[in-house]
Amino acid sequence: DADVTQTPRNRITKTGKRIMLECSQTKGHDRMYWYRQDPGLGLRLIYYSFDVKDINKGEISDGYSVSRQAQAKFSLSLESAIPNQTALYFCATSDWTAGSQETQYFGPGTRLLVL
Amino acid sequence: AQTVTQSQPEMSVQEAETVTLSCTYDTSESDYYLFWYKQPPSRQMILVIRQEAYKQQNATENRFSVNFQKAAKSFSLKISDSQLGDAAMYFCAYSLDFNTGNQFYFGTGTSLTVIP
């Protein structure tokens, strides 16, 4: 089974609709992240969470919100989707411990199309 | 602000040959980590190799190695004996030391084609 899963894998929605992307992990990591990937722009950080009670805005948080329901679950919401939110969305987790090399583990991605 | 620059949007290499992907970054920090991630057509992001800034020795992982030049803020990836399965988008990434908060910053990616 995959360590980091994302649902749905593909989604088409209309402008103005609310949509939620879900991420679950079985790695036991405290830190979770949401990125979006656009051609020519690489990955950009939307939100990140260092534990259940700690949620922080990333580089491009406008138009998005998140919920950390549990250590294993981190959801990304688009309250009112707009076409320029069409992108590939990645969830990631990381295994931070003091003195360690932090590495991020990515989910398979969710391809979102907003019409 | 931290930035990561990959100046080669596309690269190609003949199978079994060697290719080097470039990455430069900008930071005022002294402790940080650098990574190369691979994204094949499956869209999954796969860690290829990582390097701690305080280590002078270049990281090596089988056919993958890096040339880390801290003073020049350069972190290139060398792929030796290229294989068809190496074809993918490659992202360079930077992460701060955990004491200063840990966010990842990614470059825009280099698309690698392997020619049979």
Q: Report the C-alpha gap between A86 and A12 in whole angstroms.
A: 9
Give the DSSP H/E element, type plus range, for residue B40: none
pLDDT confidence tier of residue B2, bands split at 50, 70 and 90: low
When computed from its CA atoms, the radius of gyration of chain B, rounded to whole angstroms, is 14
Q: Is A40 left (phi over 0), alpha (psi -120 to 50) or beta?
A: left
Cβ-defined contact of A105 to B35 (cutoff 8 Å): no
Among the listed ranges A49-63, B29-43, B64-78, B100-114, which one has the minimum average pLDDT value? B100-114
Tokens 């003195």 found at: A99
B contact set with A (CB within 8 A): 4, 6, 9, 33, 35, 37, 42-47, 50, 52, 91, 93, 95, 98, 102-109
Among the listed ranges A48-52, A60-64, B5-9, B67-71, which one has the minimum average pLDDT value? A48-52
Q: Please report the pLDDT score of residue A110 as a whole number.
A: 94
Q: Is the pLDDT of residue B67 over 80?
A: yes
Q: Which of residues 40-99 of A touch B (CB under 8 A)?
A: 40-45, 48, 50, 58, 88, 90, 92, 94, 96, 98
Q: Report the C-alpha gap between B12 and B98 in whole angstroms.
A: 36
DSSP B58-114: PPEETTEEEEEETTTTEEEEEE-S--GGG-EEEEEEEEE-GGG---EEE---EEEEE
Question: Is A104 touching B (CB cutoff 8 A)?
Answer: yes
Average pLDDT over residues B77-104: 84
Best residue in A10, A56, A90, A101 for a mutation probing chain B (most B CBs within 10 Å): A101
Q: Please report the pLDDT score of residue A59 as a whole number.
A: 84
Structure tokens at B22: 């470039």
Q: Is the pLDDT of residue B54 over 80?
A: yes
Q: Which residue has the higher pLDDT, B82 or B43?
A: B82
| pLDDT per residue as tens digits for the range A30-86 | 889 999 998 777 889 899 998 899 998 988 999 999 999 999 999 999 999 999 999
| pLDDT per residue as tens digits for the range A1-30 | 569 999 999 999 999 999 999 999 998 988
Q: Is the pLDDT of residue B22 over 60?
A: yes
Please choose, from the candidates A59, A39, A108, A63, the residue with its C-alpha nearest in 3D space to the C-alpha of residue B3: A59
Q: Is the pLDDT of residue B83 over 60?
A: yes
> What percent of chain B lies above the pLDDT cut of 70?
93
Q: Please report the pLDDT score of residue B111 as a whole number.
A: 95
Which of B9, B50, B91 faces A43 most closely, judged by CB atoms?
Answer: B91
Q: Report the C-alpha gap between A44 and B43 in whole angstroms.
A: 16
Please choose, from the candidates B77, B98, B74, B48, the residue with its C-alpha nearest in 3D space to the C-alpha of residue A101: B98
Tokens 């649902």 found at: A7
Q: Report the C-alpha gap between B106 and B58 in whole angstroms.
A: 20
> Distances in Å between the alpha carbon of A87 and those of A41, A109, B60, B108, B112?
11, 10, 33, 14, 21
